[in-house]
Structure 1
Amino acid sequence: MISNNFRNIHGMLLLDKPTGISSNKALQITKKIFLAEKAGHTGSLDPLATGMLPICFGEATKFTKYLIKSNKKYRVIAKLGEKTSTADSYGEIKYVASTRFSSNQYRTALDRLKGKISQVPPIFSAIKYKGLRSYQYARKGIQVPLKPRLVKIYKLHSLYRSKNIIELEISCSSGTYIRSIINDLGNFLKCGAHVIFLRRMQVSSYSCNSAITIDQLNFFKNKYFKKSKKIFFKKLKKLLIPINSIVSSLNKIYISLKETVNIQNGQCIRLFTRYQNGLICIMNTKKKFIGLGKIKNYIYLYPYRLINKNLYNKYNLYEQFHDKK
C-alpha cells in the first residue's frame, strides 16, 4: 500500500463498459475499486455504447497508444428514417423521412461505406478544436469545422433488416466513428438514420467475451473486501493481463542481463544478428519484459519505452505472455 490507501499496481483489465456512462466515468469507478494510483483507458466509447474498454494500470499506461491505434469490431443497431442531433438516440430528432428504398439501393449504400472512406466526426465527439472538445461547443449550439478523416472499413455485414431497423457488424481501423457511418448511410438513402444500440465486440485481439463488468467487480468487492482485503486484491490481481500482452503483435528480442542493465541506463547495444529496423519488444533471457526498443541500421538496439527500472524488480511487471494458439 502507498499513501491515501491507493496501490501501485500494473497490468491491464478488460472491462465491459455498461451503457449510460462515459468511458472516463467507467475508468474512475474501476480505478476506485482497484484502489489504483494510476490508470487510463485505451479509447473512448460513447455513453450509449457498451463493450470492450481495456483499462491500463500503472506502467501499462505507457503502452496504451498501441491499443488506441488498433483495429476494432462493433455490432450496431440503427433506426432509419430519423436524423438526430447526435447521430444516436440520445439526441434531438432533427427530421423524419420516408424509408422507401429498394434492397438494391440499400446494398449499394452499404457498399459505399466499405474500404477506405473519408468521414466527418460527429459534432458531439471528444475531438479537440482550439483547445476544447467538440461536444463542448455542440452543447452551446456552436458549430465548429471538423476536418474529414480517412478510415478503413475492413468488413461491413448486414445482419438484420426489418422495416426501419437494421443491424450491422463492422470491423474497422482506429479513429472510425460508427455514428458517422450510420449518419452517412442515412444520407445515402435520403432518409436519415441514427444509432440506437452500439457494442464494441473487439479491440485488437481482445474479445469482449473475456471482459468483466463493473457489476462483477462490485460483486467481488461486496463478497471479499470486508472479510479480507488481502484476498480481495488477490482476486483482482488474477483479472489483470501482463503488460507485454499489449505489444504482443511486435517481434521479440531476448537480451542478456548485462545488456538489460545497459538498455535500462539509456544506452544502445550492438546486436550480432541482423534484425529489421523498427520497434521491437525487449525480453531478457528469463523472459521478463523490459519494454520497447528501436532497431536502427539493423544491428543497433536503442531503448524506446521501458518499464521503470526502479519498479522492475519490486513489482511483478514482467509475467510471460502466452500467445493464444
Structure 2
Amino acid sequence: MARKRRGRDINGILLLDKPPGVTSNGALQVVKRLFAAAKAGHTGSLDPLATGMLPICFGEATKFSQYLLDADKSYRVTARLGVTTDTGDADGEVRDTRPVTADAATVERTLMTFLGDIEQIPSMYSAIKHQGQPLYKLARQGIEVERQPRQVTIHRLEVLGQDGDDLHFEVDCTKGTYVRSLVEDLGEALGCGAHVTLLRRLSAGPYPTDGMLTLDELGSLKEEGGFEALDARLLPVETAVADWPQVKLGRDAAFYLCQGQPVMAADRPRDGMVTLYNAESGAFLGVGEVQEDGMIAPRRLVAQTA
C-alpha cells in the first residue's frame, strides 16, 4: 500500500524574500512548515549571505521548477575592492589585501568589459559536484580540484555608485552565472582583488521584485488569517512559464495530450517550448515542445481534476 503523504495538497508558487544567514533549504523548510505543505521545493540555491528572490514551488508547481532554474536572473551586488577571501564573499577568511589604485571611471569601464558572453571558472565554494561531492565540501577539507570553465552571458551591468572601496552595481545574467566569480575576476582585472559583501537577487525568470514576502510577513499572515491568508498569496502554477508562447487546444486535442500523446494545433509556433491550455475551460494543461512534423509533444503536464 502506498504511503500517504503528510501535509496539505496545495499547488502554486510563492515568491520568498530569503533572509541573510540562512541556507535556501533552511528557508524552504520554514515555509513548508508554515503552509503545512505535503510537497515543496525551491528553484535555485542562494548562498547564506545572499537575500532576495527564491521562488518556492508547491505541489504540481514542482514539475516546472527546472524551467525557473534555467531562467535568467538579476542581482544587486556590493563588491569590496582591495580584499580577497577564500570563498569570494564576506563569509570567508581574508586571503589578501592590496591597494585600490583605479579611479571610479576605470572601475566602471573595467566592469563593462564583462558584458556579453564570458567564461567563468566556478568557485571551489560552489555547489557543483565532483565525483558526487559538492565542491564546497571538498574546499572545507582543504582539497582543490581542477574546474572546467563555463560560458555564461551577462546581459546588463549598471553601476549604482561607489562608496570608498565598495562598488555597488546590478547585473542581469543567464543561469549558472557565479556573481562571486564575476567580482573576483573584476578584482583581478583591476589588480587589487575583490569579494562580495552584499548579494540580493532581484528577479528570476518571469518574476519581478514586486510580490516577494519575507518569513516574518508570512508568519504574520498565518497568525491573522490562517492557511486561507497564506494560500491567497500563491501564484498560479502556469506563471512559472508565463513568458512562453501559448497554444490553446480543442477538447479532443486536450484529451489526447493528457493521455501523453502528441497533438496538432493550428495556432502554434514553428518550434520550441510552448504552454498548453484547454480552449474550452481555459485550464492550464502543462508545457509541450513543437516537433519537426508540427506535432506538439507533451513534456510536463499538470494533474487534471475531474
Q: Is the 8 A contact 2:79 2:194 kept in 1?
A: yes
Q: Is the 8 A contact 2:76 2:168 kept in 1?
A: yes
Q: Which residue of 1 aligns with 2:9?
A: 8
Match of 1:300 among 288, 291, 295: 295
- Equivalenced residue count is 303
TM-score, normalized by length of structure 1? 0.88
The 1:248–1:274 alpha-carbon spacing in structure 2 relative to 1, beyond 3 Å, is closer
Pairing 1:69-148 to 2, within 5 Å after superposition:
69-148=70-149
Q: CA deviation at 1:64?
A: 0.9
Q: Which residue of 2 aligns with 1:278?
A: 272
SS in 2 for 1:123: coil
Q: Which residue of 2 aligns with 1:51?
A: 52
Q: Is the 8 A contact 2:245 2:269 kept in 1?
A: no
Q: CA deviation at 1:277?
A: 2.4
Match of 2:242 among 237, 240, 248: 248
Q: Is the 8 A contact 1:276 1:298 kept in 2?
A: no
Structure 2 portions without partners, runs of 5+: none
The 1:136–1:277 alpha-carbon spacing in structure 2 relative to 1, beyond 3 Å, is same
Identify the range of structure 1 (42-51 vs 275-284) with the bigger mean alpha-carbon deviation. Answer: 275-284
- How many angstroms apart in 1 are the aligned matches of 2:300 and 2:211? 28
- How many angstroms apart in 1 are the aligned matches of 2:264 and 2:76? 47
- How many angstroms apart in 2 are the aligned matches of 1:47 and 1:167? 20
- Please give the root-mean-square deviation of Cα atoms over the aligned residues, in Å: 1.7
Q: Is the 8 A contact 2:206 2:240 kept in 1?
A: no
Q: Is the 8 A contact 1:291 1:306 kept in 2?
A: yes
Q: CA deviation at 1:275?
A: 4.0
Q: Is the 8 A contact 1:201 1:208 kept in 2?
A: yes
TM-score, normalized by length of structure 2? 0.94
Q: CA deviation at 1:112?
A: 2.1
Q: Is the 8 A contact 1:16 1:208 kept in 2?
A: no
Cα-to-partner distance string for 1:248-291 (whole Å, 9 max, x where unaligned) = 12111111223222111122223355641232211002110011
SS in 1 for 2:210: helix
Cα-to-partner distance string for 1:9-54 (whole Å, 9 max, x where unaligned) = 1111010000000111111111111111111111111100100000
Q: Which residue of 2 aligns with 1:265?
A: 259
Query: Are 2:284 and 1:289 aligned?
Result: yes
Cα-to-partner distance string for 1:54-93 (whole Å, 9 max, x where unaligned) = 0001111111111111111111112111100111110000
Q: Is the 8 A contact 2:77 2:196 kept in 1?
A: yes
- How many angstroms apart in 2 are the aligned matches of 1:274 and 1:155? 31
Q: Which residue of 2 aligns with 1:236?
A: 230
SS in 1 for 2:282: coil
Structure 1 portions without partners, runs of 5+: 225-231, 315-325
SS in 2 for 1:269: coil
- How many angstroms apart in 1 are the aligned matches of 2:39 and 2:224? 25
SS in 2 for 1:117: strand
Pairing 1:174-213 to 2, within 5 Å after superposition:
174-213=175-214
- How many angstroms apart in 2 are the aligned matches of 1:236 and 1:210? 13
Q: Which residue of 1 aligns with 2:39?
A: 38
Q: Is the 8 A contact 2:206 2:243 kept in 1?
A: no
